[in-house]
């Protein structure tokens, strides 16, 4: 798939059920909020993992992937449209006719982690943010 590094990409798989009382991976986002096309979107969250993996996919390409550290139970990821556009030019950040700032693509941004329940039982969790142009939709 275009956008993947030579070493490949991630495939996230979770168990069918979680341990009792498992909080999972939680993001500090509203269900819907606008994204500033210049500044992007800062996504912060909570996790019991050591790191959180992320993958940003648009139809036809992976536009970003990696992992962010969890420190003191918190992590953050900055979705930067300008940086994404520099690396993956199919992610347009301006109207090609008018030149005005505009984001029209849909991005599925998935966060994945290896969590631990309060009793120490390991399990996996994920959270998804769908970016529709300049609208972020958090599906928990």
Asked whether residue 19 is domain-assigned, the answer is no
Q: How far apart are CA 109 and CA 129, in angstroms?
A: 5
Asked whether residue 100 is domain-assigned, the answer is yes
> Which CATH number belongs to the domain containing residue 83 in this structure?
2.60.40
Structure confidence by residue, pLDDT tens digits, 17-42: 888 888 889 999 999 999 988 899 99
Mean pLDDT of the residues in the chain: 89
More confident residue, 77 or 4: 77
The confidence score (pLDDT) of residue 140 equals: 67
pTM to 2 decimal places: 0.88
The closest alpha carbon to 27, from 137, 120, 122, belongs to 137
Asked whether residue 18 is domain-assigned, the answer is no
Q: How far apart are CA 56 and CA 35, in angstroms?
A: 15
Asked whether residue 131 is domain-assigned, the answer is yes
Structure confidence by residue, pLDDT tens digits, 112-121: 999 999 888 9
Answer whether 9's CB lies under 8 Å from 62's CB.
yes
Asked whether residue 3 is domain-assigned, the answer is no
Domain around 90: 26-139
* Structural domains counted in the chain: 1
Q: Which helix (H) or strand (E) holds 139?
A: strand 135-139
Asked whether residue 21 is domain-assigned, the answer is no
């Amino acid at each position: 798939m275009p956008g993947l590094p030579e070493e490949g990409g991630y495939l996230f798989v979770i168990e069918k059920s979680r341990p009792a009382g498992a909080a999972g991976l939680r993001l500090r986002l509203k269900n819907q909020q606008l994204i500033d096309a210049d500044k992007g979107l800062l996504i912060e969250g909570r996790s019991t993992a050591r790191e959180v993996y992320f993958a940003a996919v648009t139809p036809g390409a992976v536009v970003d992937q990696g992992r962010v550290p969890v420190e003191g139970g918190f992590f953050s990821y900055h979705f930067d449209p300008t940086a994404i556009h520099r690396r993956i030019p199919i992610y347009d950040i301006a109207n090609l006719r008018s030149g005005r700032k505009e984001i029209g693509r849909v991005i599925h941004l998935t966060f994945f982690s290896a969590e631990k329940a309060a009793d120490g039982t390991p399990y996996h969790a994920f959270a998804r943010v769908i970016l529709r142009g300049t609208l972020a939709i958090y599906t928990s």
